[in-house]
Chains A and B, each alone.
Chain A
Amino acid sequence: MYITVDNQNTFVATGGKPFNPNLPTVVLLHGSGTDHRGWALQARWFAFHGYSVFAPDMPAHSLSAGEALTSIEAMGAWLVRALDAAKVSNVHLIGHSQGFLVALEAAVLLSKRLLSVTAMATASAIPVNPALIETAQKDPALAAQMMLQWGFGNQHQYGASAVPGMQPIGIGQRIMANNPLAIDLAACNAYTAGSKRAQQLASEGCASCVILAAQDRMTPKKEGFKLAQDLGTHAQVIADTGHMLPMEAPKQSLSIMKTFIQTLEK
């Protein structure tokens, strides 16, 4: 669906069902330079099993208009305005990589409307090599290639695909090369409040789930374990996958996500 946020046309994937703001809403937040399509499979499951799905393209990403936001804090605040625009009441926030940093910022603003947070292949801080940011400014396609070479795990480097016949590296490359990757990476690099925010959520008793990838070379799992500690939970690690976890292991990641959220709902 398209909604208007800050006067800008904004795309929000709803998992193939009309959006119903009165159901508990699963918010799926994409990582740097990517878009809602990384969540295609998980989104449909939630949408067809009693939840509403809200998977936005951040401003200036893929199908959303507007200017790219330059800080994680601004992205978190934008997300809350987007949820308000869609009249969403209760949310489970799920973020991949940068998307989880955005979730942390939004979580604090959502207070009672927040039901849980789920972190996927991420950490409380995501420092980015300045050379990569510079490459992303000058040659986004090359930077996307570097990130995907680093980002996908071994199976996907050898052409594996959860959807028969597809090339996730080829798909990711085209999406990232056309999105404001450099701005996203700079925002990640500048963000330092993650650990504090995570601890704050834990102290408020927010339910949380951390899913890590065994072959993650972008946000190494030891950083993910620290995040889990900040959130007061245990991390679960999926074998044979890299940083692009939602695309690389949709079935395994969904299984953990849905068990966590369904248990909370009970």
Chain B
Amino acid sequence: MSKSSFLGADTIALHSGYQPESDHGSRAVPIYQTTSYVFDSVDEASALFNVEQGGHIYSRITNPTVAVLEQRLAALEGGAGAICTASGMSALFVTFFSLCSAGDHIVSAAQIYGSTVTLLKHTLKRFNIDCTFVDINDQDALAGAIQDNTKLIFCESIGNPGLAVSNLPAIADTAHQQGIPVVVDATFATPYLNNPIQHGADVVVHSVTKWIGGHGVAVGGVVIDGGNFDWLKSGRFPTLTQPYEPFHGMNFWEEFGPAALAMRIRCESMRDIGAAMTPHNAFLLLQGLETLNLRMQQHVTNAQAMVAWLQQQDAVAWVNHPDINADAHTKTLFPKGAGSMLTFGVKGGRDAGAAFINALQLSSNLANVGDSRTLVLHPGSTTHSRLSETDLVAAGISADLIRVSVGIETVKDIQADFGLGLRAAAKVAMAQLAQTEA
């Protein structure tokens, strides 16, 4: 097993990447709210530009506060290096962009976050990068979808919205047999519940916006270079193994080896695309990260309690959480529980679902996940309201589906709130029944 730190995860979350600086001894990570950094001399400036010296030049490329978050997340996930970005979506974009060029191909899990679907299916397609979507746990389908120009396999460790757990060791086996890396969006899992690199993933992406921040006040993303993939042996990655003229003719594999991808992203994507995380957001996200492990325990405990409670409610038609009738690989990959997202259906379909949401007082009806507060969304009346019932089913979303990101409130208060919603939903269902009978 590859490690990047010999500290325990709780200690890493609090300390890694920063020790009190010598000028003032600031215990908290300072916010380096600056765009740029004064060079000691012309010699130092040229050394920095020519990568003869590590350090900061301009905050679009690197920033000391952001670097703490990067190093801390790399240590937590057991990677070789990390690059923080303005959002989870930009983290995904720079990863795909660094590994693929026009004419290349990606194989992706079918059940993934909606904006990632549009990125893979439409946006990258405009640049002639194709994507085939497969059932990621069907290894024959996965192997069959790989082409000569395939550059990566993509999945979410817990898929959105179906909450299927990707069988990472099996996926990595299939991919590695053909010299292809596996990129995993581990947002729903967080580094507390599962570290994909330990299970064969080569690159890990998080929307740091979600549980890692937890407070719901800052958007951010990270790409973690797992450092185990041999880009040269694969033979598919000239962007990493041949000289890159626009950056000193650098050969990233020769120069940085296990951190080749992270450095390519730094030197190309941060320079040319510039989706940089701001120092202030890095600071806010660090505040969240420091207590991630404690919060996740409560998230998971609450989610499990909510699953058990919902299963007993008359107004509930069905409940879905990866720990219900868990596959063998789910148990192995998520011994502490498979996250705090759940979905359920209320009897009475789309209208009853809408009534449930409208009756809630504590839980927030919004389009986000991973806040410390409980969040709910009824895709049938919001994000997917324009879809017909048939199209909803094709998207894996039934009309009655309610998505819950279970928060860390006192669980009986969440249950009381859901009780209000279920009573409202039941009224709609009863009225429907009365109408059918009449």
Residues of A within 8 A of B (CB): 11, 13, 16, 35, 37, 40-42, 44-45, 48, 62-63, 141, 145, 148-149, 155, 157-167, 169-171, 173-175, 177, 250-251, 254
Supposing A16-B248, A16-B249, A45-B47 touch, asked if A165 and B257 sit within 8 A by C-beta, the answer is no
Q: Which of A11, A149, A173, A251 contacts B2 (CB 8 A)?
A: A173
* Residues A167 and B228 in contact, CB atoms below 8 Å apart: no
Closest to B229 in A: A174
* Residues B15 and A165 in contact, CB atoms below 8 Å apart: no
| Interface residues as binary, B51-75 with A (CB distance below 8 Å gives 1, 0 otherwise) | 1111110000011101100111011
A145 to B78, CA, bound (A): 12
A148 to B80, CA, bound (A): 14
Residues from chain B with Cβ under 8 Å of A148 in the complex: 6
* Residues B53 and A45 in contact, CB atoms below 8 Å apart: yes
Residues from chain B with Cβ under 8 Å of A171 in the complex: 80-81, 227, 256-259
* Residues A175 and B258 in contact, CB atoms below 8 Å apart: yes
* Residues A173 and B54 in contact, CB atoms below 8 Å apart: no
Supposing A159-B12, A159-B75 touch, asked if A167 and B255 sit within 8 A by C-beta, the answer is no
Nearest CB in chain B: distance from A10 CB, A: 13
Determine whether B342 belongs to the interface, using a CB cutoff of 8 Å to chain A.
no
Determine whether B17 belongs to the interface, using a CB cutoff of 8 Å to chain A.
yes
Nearest CB in chain A: distance from B358 CB, A: 45
Residues from chain B with Cβ under 8 Å of A163 in the complex: 54, 81
Determine whether B50 belongs to the interface, using a CB cutoff of 8 Å to chain A.
yes
A251 to B228, CA, bound (A): 27
Task: Report the contact-size class of chain B (Cβ under 8 Å from the partner).
Answer: 35 or more
* Residues B67 and A165 in contact, CB atoms below 8 Å apart: yes
* Residues B2 and A165 in contact, CB atoms below 8 Å apart: no
A11 to B82, CA, bound (A): 27
> Per DSSP, are chain A's interface residues mostly helix, strand or loop, or mixed?
helix
A161 to B256, CA, bound (A): 14
* Residues B16 and A158 in contact, CB atoms below 8 Å apart: yes
Nearest CB in chain B: distance from A153 CB, A: 11
* Residues A48 and B50 in contact, CB atoms below 8 Å apart: yes
Residues from chain A with Cβ under 8 Å of B56 in the complex: 164
* Residues B4 and A173 in contact, CB atoms below 8 Å apart: yes
* Residues B53 and A165 in contact, CB atoms below 8 Å apart: no
* Residues A165 and B266 in contact, CB atoms below 8 Å apart: yes
A206 to B232, CA, bound (A): 41
Determine whether B5 belongs to the interface, using a CB cutoff of 8 Å to chain A.
yes
* Residues B262 and A166 in contact, CB atoms below 8 Å apart: yes
Nearest CB in chain A: distance from B198 CB, A: 12
A3 to B345, CA, bound (A): 66
Determine whether B250 belongs to the interface, using a CB cutoff of 8 Å to chain A.
yes
Residues from chain A with Cβ under 8 Å of B51 in the complex: 16, 40-41, 44
* Residues A170 and B81 in contact, CB atoms below 8 Å apart: yes
* Residues A170 and B74 in contact, CB atoms below 8 Å apart: yes
Nearest CB in chain B: distance from A238 CB, A: 15
Nearest CB in chain B: distance from A134 CB, A: 19
A161 to B83, CA, bound (A): 13
User: Which 3 A-B pairs rank lowest in CB-CB distance, beginning with the nearest?
Assistant: A170-B4, A159-B16, A164-B67
* Residues B53 and A164 in contact, CB atoms below 8 Å apart: no
* Residues B62 and A174 in contact, CB atoms below 8 Å apart: no
Q: Which of A13, A16, A169 contacts B4 (CB 8 A)?
A: A169
Residues from chain A with Cβ under 8 Å of B53 in the complex: 41, 45, 250-251, 254
Q: Which of B54, B79, B256 contacts A164 (CB 8 A)?
A: B54
* Residues B62 and A165 in contact, CB atoms below 8 Å apart: yes
Determine whether B1 belongs to the interface, using a CB cutoff of 8 Å to chain A.
yes
